[in-house]
Amino acid sequence: MSEFDVIMNDYEGQNGKRGRACVVVLGDLGRSPRMQYHALSLARQASLEVDIIAYGGSEPHIAVLSHPSIHIHTMTQWPKIFQGLPRIFRPIMLLLKPIIQFFMLLWFLCLKIPSPDVFIVQNPPSIPTLVAVRWASSLRNSAFIIDWHNFGYTLLSLSLGRNSRFVSVYRWIENHYGKMADGSLCVTKAM
């Protein structure tokens, strides 16, 4: 029995099975093959209705698009007008972007889709994704599973430097909310 099965059995015993899962990708779904595979596995093998919340972009695999139990909900991308602003506004944009994404995610996770048994979220990005999905999982009494592709703070430190306050805050949030997960899937054993 996999870790996912154990978590789901615990939740089914406490809450009764709803027959739904939600896969969350704060990025281009077409460029997230692991998350597409999770959605297909949940729909095919677990016979769950699967809601995918992601940005548009490249086309997902035809099997995902054509499966009758998979429902894709596309969020609006961060407006490109903000990307062309002078560099002096970068700190403000670093704060504003996740706040807007956070509220957009909560809208989709708590109001737009039916309540799932489990949320599976791709990491990174950790901010605002882990926070929003954890809050939604608490509000909707659902399991919270993180698929760790990388540590977000290490990627952020490549552009901002290891000593950046943004990197320190990002690392703390990723660590704090990562520990709150009901389960984790990792790309490598090292993680």
Q: Does residue 189 surpass a pLDDT of 70? A: no
Predicted TM-score (pTM) of this structure = 0.83
Q: In this predicted model, what pLDDT tens digit does every residue of 102-155 receive, in sequence order?
A: 999 999 999 999 999 999 999 888 889 999 999 999 999 999 999 987 776 577
Q: Which residues of 134-158 are buried (b: 16+ CB within 10 A; e: fewer)?
A: bbbbeebebbbbbbbbbbbbeebbe
Q: Does residue 10 surpass a pLDDT of 70? A: no
- Predicted pLDDT at 34: 92
Q: What does the pLDDT average to over 168-183?
A: 88
- Predicted pLDDT at 79: 62
Least confident of 49-53, 58-62, 156-160, 185-189: 156-160
Q: Indicate the domain borders of the chain.
A: 3-79+88-186
Q: Domain spanning 3-79+88-186 has what CATH number?
A: 3.40.50
Answer for the pair 33, 27: CB distance below 8 angstroms, yes or no: no
Least confident of 30-34, 79-83, 146-150, 169-173: 79-83
Distance CA 64, CA 68 (A): 9
In this prediction, residue 91 has a pLDDT band, given cuts at 50, 70 and 90, of: confident
- Predicted pLDDT at 15: 57
- Predicted pLDDT at 132: 96
Question: Phi and psi dihedrals of 37, rounded to 5?
Answer: -65, -40
How many CB atoms sit inside 10 A of residue 17's CB? Answer: 12
In this prediction, residue 13 has a pLDDT band, given cuts at 50, 70 and 90, of: very low
Q: Does residue 1 surpass a pLDDT of 60? A: no
Task: Work out whether strand 118-123 and strand 143-148 pair parallel, antiparallel, or are unpaired.
Answer: parallel
Distances (CA, A) of 80 to 21, 107, 124, 157: 31, 22, 21, 23
Q: In this predicted model, what pLDDT tens digit does every residue of 17-70 receive, in sequence order?
A: 779 999 999 999 999 999 999 999 999 999 999 999 999 889 999 999 999 999
